[in-house]
Amino acid sequence: MTLSDTVYERLRADIVQGRFPPLQPLRLEQLKQQYGVGFSPLREALNRLQGERLVVSAAQRGFRVRALSVTEMWDAVESRILVEGEALRRSVEQGGDDWEAGLVAGFHALSLVVKRLGAGADAPALEELERRHREFHAALISACGSAWLLDFAGTLGTETERYRTLALRSATLRRDRDLEAEHKALLDAALERDADRAADLLEEHYRETGQFLEQVLGQGEAAALR
């Protein structure tokens, strides 16, 4: 991994995890001091992040973190349903033993984190939840056989993760949602090779998350999201 790649990964993670909130300016001099690198790898990283719609730039004003909105959140959720729904169907049809083993391992790891959240969800716990959640959903579609679908899914997943992270840190977790049961149902449908049911459950899962995020935004509980 090159220096530019390392800076890109670190800056990307800091944006997704909300350490740089929406609309915050990303000044090169400050980033240089924070990450201990020169201007060239920083500019390269910021240009890559602009291509992923995580940052925006304006003439004479430099870069800033891209704003979030309910409309764009739903656009990302609906697009994710389309892309990952197709990728999941293909994975269910094509996945082998290694794919199944990866699903089971991913679900177990995610389940452990979800159970620990009952004792309190601090920032490190939420970051761990997001990582395990991302890994499980990546495992679900990993056997689709399409690099394009996986790339699109990764970009859309990053976009929705920004909303989830900031919302979960600013709102009380809903007690009426059983995340472990939702993921277990997805796992079972995939292992049973029921592509239609798996895709339907994935859509329900993402729409439920979208409704939660819209509720948080609408109630104004997360001013940083605006």
What would the pLDDT profile of 139-183 be if each residue is shown by its tens digit? 999 999 999 999 999 999 988 988 888 777 665 555 567 888 999
The one-letter code for the residue type at 177 is R
Number of domain units in the chain: 2
Question: Is residue 103 located within the same domain as residue 53?
Answer: no
pLDDT attached to residue 175: 54
CATH number of the domain enclosing 7: 1.10.10.10
Question: Is residue 172 located within the same domain as residue 219?
Answer: yes
User: Rounded to an integer, what distance in angstroms lies between the CA atom of residue 42 and that of residue 30?
Assistant: 11
Picking from 44, 65, 86, the residue at the C-terminal end of a domain is 65
> How confident is residue 198, by pLDDT bands cut at 50, 70 and 90?
very high
Segment 130-143 shows an average pLDDT of 95
CATH number of the domain enclosing 164: 1.20.120.530
Question: Is residue 23 located within the same domain as residue 135?
Answer: no
Would you say how long the chain is, in residues? 226
Domain range for 20 is 3-65
Question: Is residue 78 located within the same domain as residue 120?
Answer: yes
Give pLDDT tens digits for 44-103.
999 999 988 899 997 767 899 998 889 999 999 999 999 999 999 999 999 999 999 999
Question: Is residue 202 located within the same domain as residue 183?
Answer: yes
In 3-state terms, what secondary structure has residue 220?
Answer: coil
Question: Is residue 139 located within the same domain as residue 54?
Answer: no
- Strands (DSSP E) found in the chain: 25-26, 55-58, 62-65
pTM: 0.84
Q: Is 31 exposed, middle or buried (0-12, 13-18, 19+ CB in 10 A)?
A: buried
Q: Which two tokens stand for residue 223?
A: 């001013």
Q: Is 210 exposed, middle or buried (0-12, 13-18, 19+ CB in 10 A)?
A: buried
Token pair 């915050």 is at which residue? 24
